[in-house]
A and B are shown apart, each in its own frame.
Chain A
Amino acid sequence: MSSLEQQVDQAPPKTPSDANKPSDERIIHTSLITRLMRRPELGALAGLILVTIFFMIVGKSSMFTLAGIMNFLVPASQLGILAIAASLLMIGGEFDLSVGSMIAFTGLIFATALVVFELPLGVAIIITFAAAAVMGALNGQIVLKTGLPSFIVTLAFLFIFRGLTLVGLKAATGGSTQLRGVKDAIEGSSLAEIFSGDALEGLFAWLAQNDMIDTFKNGLPKVTGVPVEILWFIALAGVATWLLVRTQFGNWIFAAGGDANSARNSGVPVNRVKTILFIFTACAAALVAIITVLDAGSTDARRGFQKEFEAIIAAVIGGSLLTGGYGSAIGAFFGAIIFGMVLIGLAYTNIDQDWYLVFLGGMLLIAVLFNNFVRKRVTGER
């Protein structure tokens, strides 16, 4: 959240000379509120606070214990890694509907490399990311070369990758739609710890010893560490936010999505920016595939099913415009946490789990309406 404050601080300092200058009476003074309202992630933050309050009231108290928080942050992180990449791509003016299928397909490539070809984990990971990069570049090149909407091109790949996964799984297993044996294949690999299990175990043991977190009767902590995907999620959100709001490449992302033609005329390499974003999105899908396949010890044909929609919804809740040129990575971060909280949180209430989808649809609609309203106010659109 510090990056949020940082952005607000970024507004120009009011120097003494400013105060003495006669002001133009036609410009309304930009108050702190207006500057806050200008941040695209405001809606997502407000939504997150509302949802948290909601579950604090109706949910069981165990939801907001350390164990409960980890519980909803795990699915939030797996979605959030995708949502952050999706939000950058959306700000850059493009969509990728194939990310869900890409999780399945890269998951297949990863598991096949490990189980069928018995390659070392490091090699399998490199192959998986390389394959994802090729798929992302393919998506991007087709979109950019043909000028077709990315919606259509990536919709096609949604089916192509899902179908290839099924075909590939059957070929790799001899007829099954599930490929097992990943856990055996990575036995003893220290690299696996970066992509699976818990991290910071030493810290949690220390906290338990000092009675700072809940422990079992034998003194061991109830939560032994932070699941690695949560750390990936937080790190990615930080890097993406910094990239977007502080770097040249970030400015190019806004420019490419805001008006590709104007950006080109100003010397922004729009096609390169968009291709990199497609590749980045595909690699985010590969990362989720690696994490979830290692976690489950197997991969199957339904992996990542409908994740593309959830990622886009989280990005929209996070303040990204469907038309590009405006949005936030930290907003997608909040959006994904809202998702995880609702998905897991309903189990802590008396509400039927099936309301989850209704809730999501409602959130999406409210977010879009809210974003439109804020954008019009802030940019002075007439």
Chain B
Amino acid sequence: MSNISPLIEVNDLIKHYGLVIALNGVSITVNPGEVVCLLGDNGAGKSTLIKTLAGVHKPTDGEFNVEGNPVDFNSPREALDAGIATVYQDLAMIPLMSITRNFFMGREPTKGVGPFKYIDFDHADKVTREEMLKIGIDIRDPQQAVGTLSGGERQCVAIARAVYFGAKVLILDEPTSALGVAQTSMVLKYINQVRKKGLGVIFITHNVRHAYAVGDRFTILNRGATLGTYSKDEIEIDALQNLMAGGKELQQLSDELGGTI
């Protein structure tokens, strides 16, 4: 493992928004074929961290390497080109546009030359249908608006899109938070499938059980700093839960409620 450079390696990342210190020394490493779960309560800095990795924000300070090389992204586009694809909580899908148009948004397949280039919709529709079929969603009409899909289906379109476009690292921002049981297991199964392909996954979630189901390692953020990173054999699910919630209070509450949290 040690002779392969990690897909993403971040050391002591610091991000300030004016006077607010959003990240105060975060470190995280993602290797190929590995699901790293990023856990933390609200305000822990998860969103800021992934937006920095995705090229939306520039870090104030710290080391950020992709496949062993230091990077300095100026836009999400550059991060995408480096193989870091992010599926946001709000999905980055546009409800009024068709599934195909969303799937290929920003990377439309074109035919023709010079000013007469046009989108190859036959190809685009075909790819969209096929990619969605691979994860078990049968889209009858790829020209139908994304607004007509359910939340889980939209999530899967977003993930399928990232995988199709050759992402090396997939950052999933709470992909299961708005899903029902069946759709959650579909997404988790898909994450497992993605890992087997050799991609690295950063999986952000509030739900420790979802994390424990697919995660290889767990990085816990608290108040803008890394609280610790544990591999699956180092930590039990309950301990993870406590760490994430900042310890004792939750344990107390859990006892009061009969241990159901």
CB closest chain-B residue, reference A259: B94
Q: A362 on the interface (CB 8 Å rule)?
A: no
Contact between A247 and B143, CB atoms less than 8 A apart: no
A24 touches B119 (CB 8 A): no
B104 touches A251 (CB 8 A): yes
Rounded to whole Å, the gap between the CB of B146 and the closest CB of chain A is 8
Distance, CA A32 to CA B147, complexed state (A) = 20
Q: Which residues of B contact A378 (CB under 8 A)?
A: 145
Task: Take A255-B106, A379-B148 as given contacts and tell me if A267 and B80 are in contact as well, using a CB distance cutoff of 8 Å.
Answer: yes
Q: Is B117 an interface residue (CB 8 A)?
A: yes
For A380, what are the chain B residues with a Cβ–Cβ distance below 8 Å?
Answer: 145, 147-148
B141–chain A nearest beta-carbon distance, Å: 5
Cα distance A23–B141 in the bound complex, in angstroms: 12
Closest CB in chain B relative to A180 CB, distance in Å: 39
Known contacts A30-B140, A246-B118, A267-B76; is-contact A262 B148 (Cβ 8 Å) = no
B117 near A248 with CB under 8 A, answer yes
Residues of B within 8 A of A321 (CB): 96
Residue B235 lies at the interface, judged by CB distance under 8 Å to chain A: no
Known: A254-B101, A265-B76, A380-B147. A246 touches B106 (CB 8 A): no
Distance in angstroms from A361 CB to nearest chain B CB is 27
Q: Which chain B residue shows the least CB distance to A91?
A: B96
Distance (whole angstroms) from the CB of A369 to the closest CB of chain B? 18
What is the bound-complex CA distance between A375 and B140, given in angstroms? 20
Kindly report which residue of chain B lies nearest to residue A378, judged by CB atoms.
Answer: B145
Q: How many residues of A contact B (CB 8 A)?
A: 39
Contact indicator per residue, chain A 357-382, by CB within 8 Å of chain B (1) or not (0): 00000000000000000010011110
Task: Say whether A348 faces chain B, with CB atoms less than 8 Å apart.
Answer: no
Find out whether the CB atom of B94 lies under 8 angstroms from the CB atom of A263: yes
- Complex CA distance for A266 and B75, rounded to whole angstroms: 10
Name the residue among A35, A262, A378 with the largest chain B CB count within 10 angstroms.
Answer: A262
Residue interface mask A3-47, B partner, CB < 8 A = 1: 000000011100000100101100100100001001000000000
Q: Contact at B106–A381, with CB atoms within 8 Å? A: no
Interface of B is mostly: loop
Are the C-beta atoms of B90 and A251 separated by less than 8 Å?
Answer: no
Least CB distance, A339 to chain B, in whole angstroms: 26
Q: A265 and B88: CB pair below 8 A? A: yes
Question: Chain A contacts of B96 at CB under 8 A?
Answer: 254, 258, 321, 325-326, 375, 379
B140 contacts which of A23, A248, A252, A264 (Cβ < 8 Å)?
A: A23
Q: Are B141 and A12 in contact (CB under 8 A)?
A: yes
Chain B residues, CB < 8 A from A269: 77
Q: Which residue of B lies closest to A258 (CB)?
A: B94
* Whole-angstrom distance between the Cβ of A3 and the nearest chain B Cβ: 12
User: Residue B110 at the A interface, CB < 8 A?
Assistant: yes
Give CA–CA (A380, B75) in the complex, Å. 33
User: Could you tell me which residues of chain B, from 98 to 128, have a CB within 8 Å of some CB in chain A?
Assistant: 101, 104-108, 110, 117-119, 121, 125
Q: Does B70 contact A (CB under 8 A)?
A: no
The closest CB in chain B to the CB of A264 belongs to: B76
For residue A305, CB closer than 8 A to chain B, the reply is no
Instruction: Give the nearest-CB partner of A11 in chain B.
Output: B143
Q: Is the CB of A262 within 8 A of B93?
A: yes
CB-nearest residue of chain A to B94: A258
- From B86, B106, B125, B148, give the contact of A263 (CB < 8 A): B106
* Nearest CB in chain A: distance from B148 CB, A: 4
Question: Which residues on the B side are within 8 Å of A30 (C-beta)?
Answer: 140-141, 144
B92 CB-CB contact with A under 8 Å: yes
Closest to A250 in B: B119
Complex Cα–Cα for A10 and B93 (A): 22
Other than the given A23-B140, A379-B147, 11 more pairs (CB < 8 A) read A12-B125, A21-B138, A24-B140, A254-B94, A254-B101, A261-B90, A262-B90, A263-B94, A267-B106, A268-B106, A378-B145
10 closest Cβ contacts across the A-B interface?
A: A380-B148, A258-B94, A267-B106, A379-B147, A266-B106, A379-B145, A267-B77, A262-B92, A248-B108, A246-B118
14 A–B pairs (Cβ distance < 8 Å), ordered by A: A246-B118, A246-B121, A254-B97, A255-B97, A261-B92, A262-B91, A263-B94, A265-B56, A267-B76, A267-B77, A267-B106, A321-B96, A326-B96, A379-B96
